[in-house]
């Protein structure tokens, strides 16, 4: 309980601190929106020339992309500390965290509240209404459940991914290549229907659950592809949480075997 109180207090400090640099804040929002707009424009250009990919049209593919942005925005609001984690190991900040009598993960999270994630969340919501308008999804209670659990699962998987890179950061000093790899993979490839790749790739991103960030939950709602494990999309929330717990165990293990680089 005490830990949560501390966490909330640190968040309030962050919000106040953020108001110092208004111009930079809005510039960053605009930059992030610009970044995603270009990505989307690339998808739209491709799909306005070619009509569809494996039977998925422009709105359906955008719907997959929406899952990626929205869940990323929600996740990074609270989890930005782990995005910049390798810096904390380099400058020894993490050593300080380890000697304090609180949960290390919570401490790293408390360090950062990413308010620029409004840009991702805003873009995601805009995209949601835009797709929804053209796709005419019938929103029954079950569909709403699918959507919410899909977003939760996606946020947990993306968080788990950041945590996993952080764990690897204990061994490899330069993880920026890996971070970039994960980012490009999620943003440029996994926002297409997985069927567009071959069977091996599909299986790989099902076992290592990156496909559950956007493709599986979108497929569950839109009810497009049917194959042996397409039903797994109905449970992507649970899968996401399980995957996060697994990575969290690995995180605890990594901390126990961590040797600082400092003197």
| Nearer CB in complex with other proteins: 113/152 | 113
CB of 103 to other proteins, least distance (A): 30
In terms of CB distance, is 11 or 53 closer to other proteins? 53
Cα–Cα distance for residue pair 106/121, rounded to 1 Å = 23
Nearer to other proteins, 31 or 261 (CB): 31
7 or 183: CB nearest other proteins: 183
Question: Least distance to other proteins from the beta carbon of 38, Å?
Answer: 4
CB closer to other proteins, 125 vs 196: 196
- Is the separation of the CB atoms in 50 and 181 below 8 Å? no
Which of residues 53 and 135 has its CB atom nearest to other proteins in the complex? 53
Compute the least distance from the CB of residue 53 to other proteins, in Å.
Answer: 5
Give min distance, CB of 174 to other proteins, in A: 7
Residue 39: CB minimum distance to other proteins, A: 8
Least Å from the CB of residue 158 to other proteins: 19
Q: Which residues bind other proteins (CB under 8 A)?
A: 24, 27-28, 30-32, 34-35, 38, 41-42, 45-46, 48-55, 174, 177-178, 180-181, 184-185, 188-189, 192, 195-198, 201
């Amino acid at each position: 309980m005490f830990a949560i109180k501390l966490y909330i207090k640190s968040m309030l400090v962050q919000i106040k601190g953020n108001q110092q640099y208004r111009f930079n804040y809005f510039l960053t929002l605009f930059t992030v929106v610009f970044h995603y707009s270009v990505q989307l424009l690339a998808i739209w250009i491709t799909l306005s020339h070619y009509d569809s990919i494996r039977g998925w049209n422009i709105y359906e593919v955008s719907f997959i992309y929406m899952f990626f942005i929205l869940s990323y925005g929600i996740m990074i609001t609270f989890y930005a500390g782990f995005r910049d984690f390798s810096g904390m190991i380099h400058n020894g900040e993490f050593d300080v965290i380890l000697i304090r009598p609180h949960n290390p993960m919570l401490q790293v999270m408390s360090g950062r509240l990413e308010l620029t994630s409004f840009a991702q969340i805003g873009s995601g919501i805009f995209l949601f209404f835009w797709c929804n308008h053209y796709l005419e999804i019938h929103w029954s209670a079950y569909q709403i459940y699918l959507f919410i659990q899909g977003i939760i699962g996606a946020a947990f998987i993306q968080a788990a991914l950041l945590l996993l890179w952080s764990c690897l950061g204990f061994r490899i000093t330069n993880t920026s290549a890996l971070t970039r790899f994960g980012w490009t993979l999620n943003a440029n490839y996994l926002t297409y229907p997985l069927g567009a790749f071959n069977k091996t790739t599909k299986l790989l991103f099902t076992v290592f659950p990156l496909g559950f960030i956007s493709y599986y939950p979108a497929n569950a709602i839109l009810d497009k592809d049917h194959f042996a494990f397409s039903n797994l999309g109905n449970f992507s929330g649970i899968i996401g949480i399980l995957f996060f717990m697994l990575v969290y165990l690995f995180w605890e293990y990594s901390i126990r075997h961590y040797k600082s680089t400092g003197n």
